[in-house]
Structure 1
């Protein structure tokens, strides 16, 4: 699986709209490996530098591991050893399993992991989503969780994807996938209120045509833009989102609204509600392009405090108009540093566990090995020659450092301009 994931990461890097020199990429990998080896120290003392590195983009080869650490999924996994296997072995609620199975083929159908019906990608997706329904039976399954889990599975094994999904649902986007979608409606109102400050022109236009936020931002937020943006942009947005929290999702939404509706000239093309909805369903490619979008996100000054302040205001308004919330969601946690502060991990929880463990020939010999070696040395040279077998050539199953994917030599890889999502429209309401 890890070899396959490496190939997928390599292809996604080639497809990236931003070409990064290989020397720069190797330097970034070395820096990230250093951070991962001393994660608690970096989070405590050098978080600003870590945030800057996430803004530059996590190296493709380490993205899965970085996301696992950023979200606190690594700690949850270590503190719940065997939990995923336990859930995986259970049959699950037939109601949820049936709905999940019907959704599997719609998740990134053009990606080789999910292209084959019943293939390993779809099987892992079913396992992760089914496990979540057992982990949170009061929530069950929401259709928008499937693309989130699918993106995670492109970068990590099923168990890791499960724990990162748990963290996203519980810490980053609490209440988003509960019945009634009250949390997403509240965040829609927060987005609308923030837009008044960021782009008064766009805000007035939406207000004039009574275009409710829930009509255009539901898929954006619930799927964390995984079904909206080109793939290279999705990865960069997620690097920042999992580091800094939901403010990144708000910033992306605000950038897109401002870019599409932020001037009188742009509004000439959408004089009514229908035209505006059509415009927001087909965001212009230049506004979703990786370099433009990332720069705009970083420059847009919308903080956690802004979001929390507006959240309290909208919550008061909700109670006045709708009464108390039916689903009591846990408080939102804004990013990796806040998650670690809320649940301080032990050094053992953060210890990296290699996928492959190879015994070094230079490792200290055990007493048994030394005894066998001494016995072997006692044989005559003639006896030793009889027992020595000629070396056999063994094909190297891994790629040499300079040629990460010989299977890709015959492929023509073009820059990705499209999202990998299905063309079908989902309804989350």
Structure 2
């Protein structure tokens, strides 16, 4: 092959670069890598003795000098360690294990900035942490960065954050008695790409002490096997639970096998539930309830739940929603409590469009409940194999509903039916006129 001038010049440049990064340059890089971390004399004792004092001294030195503490692979038994601003602790992912002895937490930080934890296993071993205990507790912590860590075997919560900002990413939470991660009054928090499994009460909680904007992002997490061991009617048993926290984004999560909901937002205004995959839920899969204003529930998949999507509690101020582009299928009737078996339910100031619902033993879509209905548009949905395709309230105080251009196939007791409370009345409005009902505009639907 004949080489041109361009190839010769590039070959010469490559040779020059190779010479520049020869043995001396490579050794310099290795020295920098070695100097970037320090063990501060700490070595694992495989749990034989408490290393609390040694670890605390090393963590303090790391914060003071700015050189991260590196903990080699092995087991370290410790009581609670308190981390100062600037503390960076790095371990070997899955192999550097901090085992809890006592103190209500393994790691705790308060009023700090720039604390970073990477590659650690925090193992509670099921030992009693005490009330409000957690494996990691951070209060008023800014720029907190926790990644590639594992939180296992907690008798209380996994991680508890209060007034924290930063990110919790690429971590694993498992065998947690209460909640994997609890955040209250966050200020710029990202919870992303974590694996949460086998929790006794909840997966991820995003709460505020008072109603207000929170803006936490919960994205790309895998959440599964969440029980409701502490009981209740929905406060437990959820993959993601939002309470009083506004502007929270819950996107692209895979959530399965929760006793109650995949995502439950209570009084969380401007919440977005977008592009989540939700399977095998014991109650309502995606829930916006109580005193909220603004919810977008779009492009999600719900497969197997007592109810797919609920936007409710207009009587408590719950209003203003878009429910669009979701697939909801394989609904079931609950053996106890409310019957459910409903695809989508909405009450006030909402648009329901472009959804596909299949296999609803009760209703495909329920519009309003009793007097609680105002300004709902239901258009361009496909409903297959429901007992009743669409049920809409015609109670005396119910507001207006527009139902148009929906395709309903295989409804056993009517494609579109008026409802007084839970009872369907009158003819199938997909075939007969809705003029008898002053609050309805129903036209151009196909029911067969």
TM-score range, shorter chain: under 0.3
Q: Larger helix proportion, structure 1 or 2?
A: 1
Higher relative contact order (CA 8 A, sep 6+): 1
TM-score of the aligned structures, taking structure 1 as reference length: 0.18
Q: Larger strand proportion, structure 1 or 2?
A: 2
TM-score of the aligned structures, taking structure 2 as reference length: 0.18
